[in-house]
Structure 1
Amino acid sequence: MKKRIKLNTREKGVLLFEGIGAFLLFQIMNVFLISMIGKSDFIQNFQTNWHNLLADNLWKVMVVLVLQLILSYFWVITQYHRLELRQIKRILQQSATANLPKPIKVKVDHNLQDIIDSFNLLIDNMNRRSKEQEKSEKSKDELISNVSHDIRTPLTSVIGYLGLIESKNYNDLGQILKYTHIAYKKSLEMQNLVNSLFEFANVQHATSRLNMTKFDMAQMLDQLSADFELEANKRGMEIIVNSDPDKIMMQGDTEKLGRVFNNLIMNAFKYGKGATHIWLTAEQKEKEVVVTVANNGQSIPKDSLDHVFDRFYRVEDSRSKKTGGTGLGLAIAQSMVKLHGGTIAVTSDKDRTSFISHFPIV
């Protein structure tokens, strides 16, 4: 709640003194003006016949006094605003020296209030950017920590097995081939992580651009179903495509959108334990296209739903590579959806886990 600026006793005394002084100054000016227009005997007449003069010119005297009181009042108001400015200056100096300056919650003259409101807006923007920078720095630290963790494990294995070969600590060629095969698989894990990191950094970059083309979303989902049909059969799963209407024309970067749905389908393969079906559904509405990738596998715990799009987040308790994921697939998908001006969300219950994306038609 905004509070009016309060003056201390000294400042109130100064205002009162200046108001009385201004009024007395006007009286002196009256005498001076009268003497200037040839009525120098006014004071003498006033001393002897003051009651008659006041009776004959009462309304004139009252008008002059009222005008002088009004002028004195405006003089005091002007001085009050001057004191307000002085206090505001002091408050601004105090705010400028703080790490996170707080908005100035004071009520002043409407002209000064515009300045205060503008300064508060500046403070809000500065604080917001400061918090964003702090969050960004924290995010970078977490990124370095996660990358270091995910690279260290396979790199240790690569160095360990190649070290055995280098030190000739093997029995036969079969053992050498075993060591090199493990080192090769671990190298692929690191390559996959580095590629995902590069893709994530690229899509997060402010200058990342879209190669917009007109395409049929229903046809894209049909193509994705064909691409993953063999993998789905190996896992005992069926991919079902539904589109309403049968042809949905929209604009977007087909390469990046293909990557979005590729990641979502791979996510269903890796984490949809026990799933028998994957549904790819597209629905055209008035101004948007809603695309859903769903599976009927194991549900995502409620406490994990808010974090599935976080970098390096995995739903499983351990950070093992059992699923072969880098923890960046959904973060990349979310970033690419945002690039298209869309949104993506997840819902999960015992029957179905659904990733729902909303895209503007244009």
Structure 2
Amino acid sequence: MKPNLALRMAWKLVWQIILSAILAVFTCYLLIIVLERMTRNNNIQRRFIRELYYMFGEMPLMLFACFLLFITYMIVFNWRRFSYYDKLSRSVEHVAEGNFDDLIPVKQNNEVSLLAENINSLVLELKRSLDEERKAEQTKNELITNVSHDLRTPLTSIIGYLGLIEQDRYRDEVELRHYVQIAYAKAERLNVLIHDLFEYTRMRHDVIPFNKQAFNLVEMMKQLLVHHRLLLESANMKGNLISHSNELTLSGDPDKLVRVFENLLTNAISYGYAGGKVEIYLNQHNESAVIDIVNYGEAIPATALPHLFDRFYRVDKSRTENSGGTGLGLAIAKGIVERHGGTISVTSDGDSTNFRVRLPLS
């Protein structure tokens, strides 16, 4: 509300009172002149006027007439406002019935129009809150559906293969070990999914503890490539680290950030093996460290890029559960990076896919 609204309303009311009083006195004076001319040659009308003067007195009668005229002029001056109040009341009643797309018309330039603007702002904010609530409800339902599906698939396989073992429906010990191995792999995947889901939930509610300390990002990435050497070799790929500095000091939780880069590197190996290499670029830009993890395999479709960090989103819906992840890794990575005050993004074209992470330097 504007700070001078009360002052404007007070001045407007004073102006209306003064103008109504002046017009009432002037009109009353004109009526007296007209009545005198009308009754000059008419004895009946003259007698009627004298009776009124006798009953009420000349001055009280004039004051009463001026008062009625004053009230009339005040009503005339405020009639548009009264009409707008009625329209405002009907519009508010219409919005209260749930019609949030219909706003109150703002036609006048006074305190009533300001009230209408404030009500419109309230309606828009209420509509936005309801839309967010519906979106949150839809998100919760989708989460339950996705979790149920992803938990049920490996659990069904575990129950199925353990059922075959429990019923002795295997030919020999080799087939028995094969069934046990499959059930164990499915149980491991189930454990990973539950762990990722738990981690994502903690990240969403900002309850995951962070143990921040200073560390050298260059050394961390070197160790990361060493730990993934066997995985790179099995995919017939090479990992290269390109950095123009031997030290980039960050302040953060190294264990959590390792998980981010492990996820990005694992994805680059899993879906970029056709390119034969993964390259990690470390650069400093202003007060930030810029980490680019680039693979040269099949490009990610442009339609999938905006959703890549959404939970349970998978680019290739036809991937089997053995080759596909839980769909939570990138969502968790984004949460960890943002908790460190950084950003994560992805670009992909026909030649390469680049995941870029920006983190503030110490």
Shared fold (TM-score, shorter chain, > 0.5):
yes
How far apart in 1 are the matches of 2:193 and 2:115? 52
Give 1:25's aligned amino acid.
A
Q: Indicate how the Cα distance of structure 1 residues 141 and 22 shifts in structure 2: closer, same or farther if over 3 A, else same.
A: same
Which residue in the other structure is 1:161 paired with?
161
Say if 2:303 is the partner of 1:303.
Answer: yes
- Rate the CA distance shift 1:71–1:292 in 2: closer, same or farther, 3 A: farther
2:306 is paired with a residue of what secondary structure?
coil
Measured in 1, the distance between the counterparts of 2:223 and 2:121 equals 50
Give the Å deviation of 1:142. 1.8
Aligned residue pairs: how many?
314
Distance 1:160 1:286, change over 3 A: same
Question: Which runs of 5 or more residues in structure 1 are unaligned?
Answer: 1-19, 32-42, 49-68
Distance 2:172 2:204 in 1: 49
How far does the alpha carbon of each residue in 1:264-301 deviate from its partner, in whole angstroms, 9 at most, with x for none?
11111111131322122232222433221111122212
Q: In 2 relative to 1, CA 187–208 (structure 1 residues): closer, same or farther, beyond 3 Å?
A: closer
Measured in 1, the distance between the counterparts of 2:283 and 2:74 equals 68
- Secondary structure (helix, strand or coil) at the match of 1:106 reads coil
TM-score, normalised to structure 2, is 0.75
Distance 1:73 1:222, change over 3 A: farther
Q: More displaced, 128-137 or 105-114?
A: 105-114
Do structure 1's residue 353 and structure 2's residue 350 form an aligned pair? no
2:201 paired residue number: 201
Contact 2:106 2:117 in 1 (8 A): no
Q: Matches of residues 138-287 of structure 1 in structure 2 within 5 Å?
A: 138-208=138-208, 210-287=210-287
1:247 CA drift (Å): 2.6
Q: Distance in 2 between matches of 1:250 and 1:102?
A: 52
Amino acid at match of 1:157: S
Between the aligned partners of 2:122 and 2:343, the Cα distance in structure 1 is 30
Aligned position for 2:53? none
In the TM superposition, residue 22 of structure 1 has moved relative to its aligned partner by 6.8
Q: Distance in 2 between matches of 1:77 and 1:212?
A: 69
Aligned residue identity for 1:345: S
Tell me by how many angstroms 1:318 deviates.
Answer: 0.8
Q: Kindly indicate whether the alpha-carbon contact (under 8 Å) linking 1:204 and 1:335 is maintained by their aligned counterparts in 2.
A: yes
Counterpart residue type for residue 218 of structure 1: V
Cα distance in 2 for partners of 1:146, 1:205 equals 19
Partner of 1:116: 116
1:25 aligned residue = 24
Match in the other structure for 2:11: none
Partner of 2:323: 323
CA distance in 1, matches of 2:217, 2:115: 52
What does the per-residue CA deviation read over 1:59-95, in whole Å, with 9 as the maximum and x for residues that have no partner? xxxxxxxxxx999987644443333233222212211
> For the structure 1 residues 76 and 359, does the alpha-carbon distance in structure 2 shift closer, same or farther, using more than 3 Å as the test?
farther
TM-aligned CA distance change 1:339 to 1:99, over 3 Å: farther
Q: Which amino acid aligns with 1:326?
A: T
Call closer, same or farther: CA 1:80–1:324 in 2, change over 3 Å. Answer: closer
SS in 2 for 1:107: coil
User: In the alignment, is residue 84 of structure 1 matched against residue 46 of structure 2?
Assistant: no
Do the aligned partners of 1:102 and 1:123 also contact (CA within 8 Å) in 2? Answer: no
Q: Is the 8 A contact 1:271 1:323 kept in 2?
A: no
Letter in 2 for 1:243: S
Percent identity over paired residues: 37
C-alpha distance in 1 between matches for 2:140 and 2:292: 31
Counterpart residue identity of residue 117, structure 1: E
1:106-162 Cα shifts (integer Å, max 9, x gaps): 232243343333322222222222112212222222222222222222222211111
> Residues 183, 131 of structure 1: CA spacing in aligned structure 2 closer, same or farther, 3 A cutoff?
same
Q: Secondary structure at the match of 1:250?
A: strand
Q: In terms of mean alpha carbon deviation, does 71-80 or 125-134 score higher?
A: 71-80
1:294 aligned onto 2:294: yes
1:6-45 Cα shifts (integer Å, max 9, x gaps): xxxxxxxxxxxxxx997763347769xxxxxxxxxxx98x
Distance, in Å, in 2 between the alignment partners of 1:273 and 1:352 is 12
Preserved CA contact (<8 Å) 1:158 1:183 = yes
Counterpart CA distance in 2 for 1:258 and 1:73 is 79
Give the residue type in structure 2 aligned to 1:183.
A
Q: Secondary structure at the match of 2:323?
A: coil
TM-score, with structure 1 as normaliser: 0.75
Asked if the contact 1:282–1:289 (Cα under 8 Å) also holds between the matched residues in 2, the reply is: yes
Instruction: Provide, for residues 145-184 of structure 1, a one-character-per-residue CA deviation record: whole Å limited to 9, x for no partner.
Output: 2222222222222111111222222333333322222211
Deviates more, 1:209-218 or 1:348-357: 209-218
Residue 37 of structure 1 aligns with which residue? Answer: none
CA contact (8 A) 1:250 1:361 kept: yes
Please name the residue that 1:38 is paired with.
none
What is the CA RMSD across the aligned residues, in angstroms? 3.4
* 1:88–1:361 CA distance, 2 compared to 1 (3 A): farther
CA 1:356–1:87 in structure 2 vs 1: closer, same or farther (change >3 Å)? Answer: same
Equivalent position amino acid for 1:335 in 2? G
Would the alpha carbon gap of residues 284 and 73 (structure 1) be closer, same or farther in structure 2, given more than 3 Å must change? Answer: farther
Alignment partner of 1:104 is 2:104: yes
Aligned residue identity for 2:223: Q
Q: Distance in 2 between matches of 1:253 and 1:235?
A: 30
